[in-house]
Structure 1
């Protein structure tokens, strides 16, 4: 195996563990709630705090990679993620756990753009399409495996650690990847761009994302006080100010944090909407399943993980051969899951099998086509935006679905699950609309064909 291809597992390990940790905490939520005495708002912050820090830091970390080298930032992110994972596993209270989860999110944000940039540096043509196909599979499998791995770890209770082992397991894996980073990943090349970092822009985009997610996570528990509505009102102003600042910097010949020209690439913005909806659907489904299977149906963690295995199996089998009808299958699967609520674990598992297949057929082609729509000189900006949308979509999907779920909980667990799933069905219809109307950009057909054949 060449050094170039030996580097791929190192990059995919980083992708897998950082994506997994967004979802793995879902199945550990009941155990965390019981052990640390966490209320609903704290539980949502354990989930949302990670994803929010992840999403808020992606754009600036992409620029840092340009300035200081992608391998260097990758190593720094991996080291921080290792330390933060240990902090999660050793947390003595809810506030400590939330803080460690935020640190994990910051580390994941340092990693994600570097992975996409390094994939672009290491691979070209058909090899690049294969690498991104594996990237999409790693992202999807990590998201769907979170339920299974979390359930297995909690049920196994290694050394009496319980839910803590879900985070501590990252430590040896990340240390092994870190040891190989210097040997296998390419050295940094000097950036042709002027040095400098738009800290004001970074603050605006981070503030805008916080202003969206924080009130959604805390609002219901606190009875929607005035500050939650003030934050939601401020969010579009902050994000609008960020856009204005980036245009102004570009007009003055300075390097903005984000090249807004990437949004004018054919099909890119519409593709981002579909990516956000897909990742929001995945996160929302994980949240609903984690609570409904254990607290609603009373299943132990291992049995809940067994039901979720159907989702994972469907994804893995379908991802081996991406199919253009993945979006309709996803919609049909979620509708079946909605109808299977209350019918018992077996019908629910069969419906999840169909849902997982839809996601598996859809994930890699969607990610590849969004990146293929962008010209090479804007690929770094596109990668940063794509990563931000993935994580922001996951945060918002989990948060909105959780808010609807808890709001309907007075009607019982079945009613709450159906309400949350109804949100996901609507989101999947948006993905279907994109699939039905998308026109392949220049080069997208070639990369999609290569991705389809990457596992054969």
Structure 2
């Protein structure tokens, strides 16, 4: 059984790799899509933004669906829908079709993503869980920092004459193979220890009203962050941001009322009462915001600032991938200081107008810092959550990852273009890097000030969980 559980990990990692990759892989295909489908600027923007918008809006609801109908079943459903939507993207013969398929692809990725985190937490315990999360962090990080490089290579090499369609059709054989393996390699989770049953069992079911409120609230936050800067912050962007607060307040109020009425809410708000999880969310938002902001700055600085062609710029960025991959194999406690050091080195390199190879050396250190910290951060945040709240916590964590990335890219881009005066790429890049250094300082502050682990369990069920997790030695 142990061998079978480890055989399931590649299936989970393949799924999370391709869904994360699709955030970035289409960026360099935008010019080809515009020319081939004769799409306008706004339509092409939604080819990229539609995926992220649907993904962010659906994560919390998807986590609850996993709790209700089984994380294994929802994982397979999400993977199948993602594969079909990828085929729809690759076969699109008009822009509207492509945008609709991208939105469907993002919704399917949202259905799949929380199940991966929850299944890893359920299938592995103790040191095995730490190892599994280490590989999860490696897969997410490599897909994130290497997405644009892979997209550029696919467009440049034009496999089978597919052009930009290869960026989407590559998911079809990969997704189909992973889906075929899930039934045989993905075992059922470990049984949970018996727990005391409450006198009144709340009625189970999906809170459709809450799902509508949280989805509308997420859209009202993410959509203006994605499109607002591109369109010069029009009035609708500010109206959306203003409406997001009341929508989320109404959602929280509804969840509290449902709990008092004896119904199971869409999101168990008690998940935020654990300080380790709550603090972890802040650090995750800062880390993913820093990563997204760095990807944005590099794409502009290397090509427009240093005048490198796309393939050469991609080669420089591989240093970031290499550092991440090497460090993620042995993550440790010094990730935050190394990340801060790497960004400071990058700032110094840009300030001195150094050569591309020196930029690559600084990126190697930045990647190492991200690789050292990502999987321990995700693992520590989720390990503090009770099993019955795992789906909700995974949905919240995924939402924070996506929203943090969008917010980080938006803030970095706003600072960059606000400083770009007369084509002074160096000053603009330095200003944007200052934002990223501030984000790394926040991650370092979390590493220093984060709450201590919870005290030893007192009930038999809690002791059983902690012994399985390797947090407490069995008592005779």
Question: How does the TM-score come out when normalised to structure 1?
Answer: 0.90
The residue number in structure 1 matching 2:404 is: 393
CA distance in 1, matches of 2:232, 2:117: 41
Q: Which moved more, 1:36-45 or 1:148-157?
A: 36-45
Q: Give the secondary-structure state (helix, strand or coil) at the position aligned to 1:442.
A: coil
CA distance in 2, matches of 1:43, 1:348: 31
The residue number in structure 2 matching 1:217 is: 226
| Contact kept in structure 2, 1:52 and 1:392, CA below 8 Å | no
The residue number in structure 2 matching 1:359 is: 370
**Does 2:301 align with 1:263?**
no
The residue number in structure 2 matching 1:418 is: 430
CA distance in 2, matches of 1:290, 1:264: 39
- Change in 2 beyond 3 A, CA 1:189/1:119: closer
- Change in 2 beyond 3 A, CA 1:432/1:30: farther
Q: Could you list the runs of 5+ residues in structure 2 that have no partner in the other structure?
A: 193-200, 457-465, 472-476
- Write the mapping of 1:29-428 to structure 2, written as runs, cut at 5 A: 29=30, 31-32=32-33, 44-186=45-187, 194-341=203-350, 342-412=353-423, 413-428=425-440
The Cα of 1:403 is off from its aligned counterpart by: 3.7
The Cα of 1:61 is off from its aligned counterpart by: 1.0
The Cα of 1:162 is off from its aligned counterpart by: 3.1
**Does 2:4 align with 1:3?**
yes
- Change in 2 beyond 3 A, CA 1:267/1:118: closer
CA distance in 1, matches of 2:250, 2:231: 29
| Contact kept in structure 2, 1:62 and 1:114, CA below 8 Å | yes
The Cα of 1:365 is off from its aligned counterpart by: 1.0
Q: Give the secondary-structure state (helix, strand or coil) at the position aligned to 1:303.
A: helix
Q: Which moved more, 1:7-16 or 1:320-329?
A: 320-329
Q: Which has the larger radius of gyration?
A: 2
Q: Give the secondary-structure state (helix, strand or coil) at the position aligned to 2:240.
A: helix
The Cα of 1:196 is off from its aligned counterpart by: 1.4
| Contact kept in structure 1, 2:130 and 2:376, CA below 8 Å | no
CA distance in 1, matches of 2:186, 2:336: 35
Give the alignment's Cα RMSD to 1 decimal. 2.9
Q: Which moved more, 1:5-14 or 1:371-380?
A: 371-380
Q: Which moved more, 1:187-196 or 1:340-349?
A: 187-196
The Cα of 1:388 is off from its aligned counterpart by: 1.5
CA distance in 2, matches of 1:312, 1:212: 30
CA distance in 2, matches of 1:202, 1:343: 50
- Change in 2 beyond 3 A, CA 1:32/1:197: same
The Cα of 1:43 is off from its aligned counterpart by: 5.5
Question: How does the TM-score come out when normalised to structure 2?
Answer: 0.86
CA distance in 2, matches of 1:92, 1:405: 35
Q: Give the secondary-structure state (helix, strand or coil) at the position aligned to 1:24.
A: coil
CA distance in 2, matches of 1:401, 1:93: 33
| Contact kept in structure 2, 1:148 and 1:308, CA below 8 Å | yes
The residue number in structure 2 matching 1:430 is: 442
Q: Residue by residue, what CA displacement relative to the aligned partner does 1:331-365 show, whole Å, maximum 9, x if unpaired?
A: 22223223333433212111111110110111111
The Cα of 1:86 is off from its aligned counterpart by: 2.2
Q: Give the secondary-structure state (helix, strand or coil) at the position aligned to 1:267.
A: helix
Q: Which moved more, 1:295-304 or 1:5-14?
A: 295-304
CA distance in 1, matches of 2:230, 2:396: 31
Q: Residue by residue, what CA displacement relative to the aligned partner does 1:73-106 show, whole Å, maximum 9, x if unpaired?
A: 1121111111222233334455443332222110
| Contact kept in structure 2, 1:53 and 1:109, CA below 8 Å | yes
Q: Residue by residue, what CA displacement relative to the aligned partner does 1:385-411 show, whole Å, maximum 9, x if unpaired?
A: 112211222222223333443444454
| Contact kept in structure 1, 2:135 and 2:328, CA below 8 Å | no
The Cα of 1:131 is off from its aligned counterpart by: 1.6
> Number of paired residues?
449
The Cα of 1:59 is off from its aligned counterpart by: 1.0
The residue number in structure 2 matching 1:19 is: 20
- Change in 2 beyond 3 A, CA 1:411/1:102: farther
- Change in 2 beyond 3 A, CA 1:411/1:429: farther
CA distance in 2, matches of 1:140, 1:320: 12
| Contact kept in structure 1, 2:226 and 2:406, CA below 8 Å | no
| Contact kept in structure 2, 1:23 and 1:286, CA below 8 Å | no
Q: Give the secondary-structure state (helix, strand or coil) at the position aligned to 2:275.
A: coil
Q: Residue by residue, what CA displacement relative to the aligned partner does 1:4-42 show, whole Å, maximum 9, x if unpaired?
A: 211111111101111111122334445556656667655
CA distance in 2, matches of 1:295, 1:193: 58
CA distance in 1, matches of 2:82, 2:241: 30
| Contact kept in structure 2, 1:70 and 1:188, CA below 8 Å | no
| Contact kept in structure 1, 2:204 and 2:263, CA below 8 Å | no
Q: Give the secondary-structure state (helix, strand or coil) at the position aligned to 2:26.
A: helix
The Cα of 1:367 is off from its aligned counterpart by: 0.8
